[in-house]
Amino acid sequence: MKKALRTGLVVVVLALGIVSIGFAQQKAAAAPQYGGVLKLIATQSPQVLSYVPAMGPQDHTAVFPGGERLVDTTRERQTTSGFEPVLAEKIDEDVKGLKITWHIRKGIKFHDGSELDADVVRWNFQQMIDAKALPHSQFFKGMRVTDKYTLVMDLKEYSNQLVGDWGWQPVITSKAAWDKASGGDLAKGKEWARTNIVGTGPFMLKEYKRDVHLIWVKNPNYWRKGRPYLDGIEVRYIPDSVTANAMTLAKEVDVWETAPPKDQVELIKQGLKRQSSWPALGWSIWPNTSNPNSKWKDKRLREAVEYAIDKAAIAKALGFGLYRPLKSLPPEGEWGYDPGYDPRPYNPAKAKELLAAAGYPNGLKAKLLVFFTPDGRAAGAAIKQYLDEVGFQIDLDVADPGRFFSTINGNPASPELDLSWWMTGRDTNYLQTYSRWFSKEPFTPLQYLGHTPEQAELEAQAQKLTSIKDQQAATRKLMRYMMDNAMIIPVYDQSVAVMQHPWVHSTRYEQGFVRWQTEEVWMEKH
């Protein structure tokens, strides 16, 4: 493995000079142009288009053209909350009075012609409450419509995560369309919502065929005047990268959303642009610390894993110059990042010493669960090689989507679970990332991750802070605690990018994973 990793570095060096062209470097045309249908390739189709309690990250991403939210992310993340009102005209947050007031923007119509108002917003929230899917539900006391465009939420206590998460999580959809499709039957409505969405966005759903395509057409009554520029967006689902690469080079599509790093480097050479910004996936090893009987409660084992891995070599070999090794979960530029912090640099001798001290001088058999994709297999093989070299005996468990997600999601983990290879996203700020991924009530409960009373106290204190400066300091304490205790072992940062032809002008990823203003996308004649 080491020889293979080092051989890969030659390819990386050749790639480094042609890595990435961001949106700010694009050659600007005289002015945006109207017309055209943007054609994209994606790997995986959504499962649910509009019943929010059942929607996963892939589903939320898929409906960017048609669905909008009360708030969404801005480009400025370091000195502000990172959010701005969208379907809400403004938000009043009364910390002492324990309430949040949502002032709904007037004059907005859904794709079916029905009106957006406070009653419809309340219904969208109620769906999540009824399904027990409202994040931070322990803070929610009740809600009331005080006039046609005003919704007030009463709180049991304050948290600085509420406006961002409550305002973003529900994709606001038409109650009238749901009522018409469901006839008052929840099961029937949920089934309809798998393949339908009636939102307020710049594009309306024309046709969805699972695993085939998702077709959007221009919303002629969109509330942002003069938008959108495009006539439509067509997404084709092509899981095979060879086919996707050929279609991209043949100019059958304008954008390839999920190109592997090797293909990205090759496409840059062919004149395509790599559209990227701050979003990235922090790929990490998650030890089972949630079960009190897990052997991985022993910090020495977790530390041994981190000392055993040459993160820089893995990142370079697998990422073709596009991945960065991670010393801590928050990378450079994020809240919580400490430039001088490197708790466990590559040291196989130290790993062997800790493994023996933990009671395993003759080695430890363990399973590493990985996703079945080529990237997951490659990362798992690299990690296995390093861990085996210091005395671990790793069984690489390659799981299909159903078994993988049923294993990592939910609590508590069974004691026989050992290690999993999974990612963390990067959200509007890293306190929100902590809250969504690592807190006691994350958006997706991950079985492997345990919590300590000390961590819970730091978490509770952080959520009460109102100033950005204080929140940043608290984030640093939280992440330092997790890293000092090797709760998660970060390996590399995978910047998220799309490959697009030069005629495409897009803001993709300038506002993170969770927002793409498709109304601002335009194409030059080509």
* DSSP three-state, residue 164: helix
Range of the domain at 448: 285-490
Q: Could you tell me the end-to-end alpha-carbon distance of the chain, in angstroms, rounded to an integer?
A: 45
The pTM score is 0.85
Helices (H), 146-213: 162-168, 175-182, 186-193
Q: Quick one: pLDDT at residue 17?
A: 34
The tally of domains found in the chain comes to: 3
Is residue 431 in some structural domain? yes
Q: What is the mean pLDDT of the chain?
A: 91
Q: Do 334 and 448 fall within a single domain?
A: yes
Residue 314 inside a domain? The answer is yes
Q: 119 with 173: CB under 8 angstroms?
A: no
Domain for residue 296, yes or no? yes
Question: Could you tell me the CATH number of the domain that includes residue 186?
Answer: 3.40.190.10
**What is the sign of the dihedral through the CA atoms of 111, 112, 115 and 121?**
negative
Of the candidates 147, 151, 179, 180, the residue with the CA atom closest to the CA atom of residue 163: 151
Residue 169 lies in a domain: no
127 and 215, same domain (yes or no)? no
Average pLDDT over residues 289-308: 96
For 457, counting Cβ atoms within 10 Å of its Cβ (0-12 exposed, 13-18 middle, 19+ buried), the class is exposed
**Alpha carbon separation from 514 to 152, 168, 218 (Å, rounded):** 25, 9, 21
* 196 and 329 both lie in a single domain: no
Residue 421's region, left for phi above 0, alpha for psi from -120 to 50, else beta, is beta
**Residue 261, CA distances (Å) to 267, 444, 496 in order:** 10, 27, 10
The reply to whether 7 falls in a domain is no
**Residue 436 reports pLDDT greater than 90:** no
Q: What integer is the mean pLDDT of 180-206?
A: 98
Residue range 139-152: mean pLDDT, rounded: 98
CATH number, residue 96 = 3.90.76.10
Domain containing residue 291: CATH number: 3.10.105.10
pLDDT band at 30, cuts 50/70/90? low
Render 59-105 in DSSP notation, one character per residue: HHHHTTTT-B-SEEE-S--SSS-SEEESSEEEEEEETTTTEEEEEEP
In angstroms, rounded to a whole number, what is the distance separating the alpha carbons of residues 493 and 141?
39
Residues 454, 502 share a domain: no
pLDDT the model gives residue 79: 66
140: in domain: yes
